[in-house]
Structure 1
Amino acid sequence: MSDAPIVIHRATGTGGRRVTIRGQVAGLARSDSDVVEFLRRAGLPDAAEVMDAPRWTEWQGGRPHEYGAT
């Protein structure tokens, strides 16, 4: 596990990934655009760039940018 402040958790059984920012649930993302919106609301204007930066974001379980049901 990393110390990244943004965690995009493994896909749920019905699809989508829970997103937490500094330990607080931001929402359930069903696409990259959902993640970008959660990060924008949290005050990160360069959210699209932050999503793939390991220093900022940890993708758990499965491949990054995949939101389908497991």
Structure 2
Amino acid sequence: MSSLIVVHPPSPEGGRRVTSHGETLGTAYGLTDLIEYLGRTGLDVATIDLYDDAIIDWRGGNHLVWGREAE
């Protein structure tokens, strides 16, 4: 089974595209944005485990990488 949420690698301009089942939820520039998108999918953001790879697939860096610093 694939993850519910994919956080894609940082773009050259900064930020990371966030998708759910192939649908773009938006571009996150930090955890605040990501948590907003997770809430929109119906996930309980109060109990979400950002390290649970069944829920979130981090590509191109973990939750600390959001912009050009990944290059």
Per-residue deviation at 1:47? 6.0
CA RMSD of aligned residues (A): 1.8
> Does residue 9 in structure 1 map to residue 8 in structure 2?
yes
Q: Residue in 2 aligned with 1:54?
A: 53
Aligned residues: 69
Q: Kindly, what percent of the aligned residue pairs are identical?
A: 33
Q: TM-score, normalised by structure 2?
A: 0.83
Please list every run of 5 or more consecutive structure 1 residues that lacks an aligned counterpart in the other structure: none
Q: TM-score, normalised by structure 1?
A: 0.84
Change (3 A) 1:47 1:68: farther
